[in-house]
Amino acid sequence: MDSLKIEKQDTTPLLDFNLDKMEFILEGECRPENGLVFFEPVISWLDVFIDFAGSVELGKKLEFHFKLEYYNSSSAKFIFNIFKRLKSLNSKGIQLSVLWFYDVLDEDLLESGKEYEKILGLKFHFLALQN
């Protein structure tokens, strides 16, 4: 199975799901005109990855670096679906570590992360960034 990388554009973030490092990065701004067009291939790739993870020996830890500076409301639903799928890796013996980066002045982004953490029952590590 190949890693997934989508370069950053004006309205979409860098998405780098690196299987060699077992490190997934979502970074930048996420405000696509059509969230389905951007996220559908990502969700499909994750579904294949989760099946793949159950059939081969991967690293026992996956780090997800959430570094979005902004995401719109239509993207929020897709982000939730990404986290929900990643959570299922626990049942495959892969420990998920979520690093949620936020600007120290952006309380809304911090609160969003705490909401995802609570709803999903995952432990997030919140890392404040200074401008």
* Average pLDDT over the chain, rounded to an integer: 94
Alpha helices in the chain (DSSP H): 35-53, 73-87, 107-120
The pair of three-digit structure tokens given for residue 21, joined into one six-digit string: 């490092």
**63 confidence band (pLDDT: 50, 70, 90):** very high
The domain total for the chain is 1
Confidence check: pLDDT of 59 > 70: no
**53 confidence band (pLDDT: 50, 70, 90):** confident
What is the per-residue pLDDT across 4-22, written as a single tens digit (0 to 9) for each? 999 999 999 999 999 999 9
Domain containing 104: what range?
Answer: 4-129
We report the CATH number of the domain holding residue 98 as 3.30.750
- Report pLDDT for 70: 96
**Does residue 103 contact residue 109 with C-beta atoms inside 8 Å?**
yes
What is the per-residue pLDDT across 82-124, written as a single tens digit (0 to 9) for each? 999 999 998 888 899 999 999 999 999 999 999 999 999 999 9
